[in-house]
C-alpha cells in the first residue's frame, strides 16, 4: 500500500492500492491519541478528492444553502488546481 499525504489535504490523506483509492481523515480527540477514520473507498483519484471536499463541508453548519454551495465549490476548486 502507498499513501498520498499532501499538506493541502490535511487532515485527510489517501491510501492507494491495486484496486482503489481510500480516503481517510486523521482525528485527534481530547485524549491526544490520533486515529484514522475512513471516509470511503473509490475507484479513481478524482472521486476520492471530490468526496474529501464534500466531507470537509459537512463538518460545520451553514446559515444558507448558498453559503454551503460556495464553500463546497471553493474546496473543490482548490483541490482541482493540484490535480
C-alpha grid cell, residue 15: 491510501
What's this model's pTM, rounded to 2 decimal places? Answer: 0.86
Domains in the chain: how many in total? 1
User: Would you call 11 helix, strand, or coil by DSSP?
Assistant: coil
Measured at the CA of 47, the angle between CA 41 and CA 50, to 5 degrees, comes to 110
The two most distant CA atoms of the chain are separated, in Å, by 42
Only one residue has cell 493541502, namely 8
Dihedral sign from CA coordinates of 43, 23, 46, 67? positive
pLDDT tens digit at each of 83 positions of the chain: 899 999 999 999 999 999 999 999 999 999 999 999 999 999 999 999 999 999 999 999 999 999 999 999 999 988 888 76
Full residue range of the structural domain in which residue 69 is found = 2-82
CB–CB of 13/5 below 8 Å?
A: yes
Amino acid at each position: 500500500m502507498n499513501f498520498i499525504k499532501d499538506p493541502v489535504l490535511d487532515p485527510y490523506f489517501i491510501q492507494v492500492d491495486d484496486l482503489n483509492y481510500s480516503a481517510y481523515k486523521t482525528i485527534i480527540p481530547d485524549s491526544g491519541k490520533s486515529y484514522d477514520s475512513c471516509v470511503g473507498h473509490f475507484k479513481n483519484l478524482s472521486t476520492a478528492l471530490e468526496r474529501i471536499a464534500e466531507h470537509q463541508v459537512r463538518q460545520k453548519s451553514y446559515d444558507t444553502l448558498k453559503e454551503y454551495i460556495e464553500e463546497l465549490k471553493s474546496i473543490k476548486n482548490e483541490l482541482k488546481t493540484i490535480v
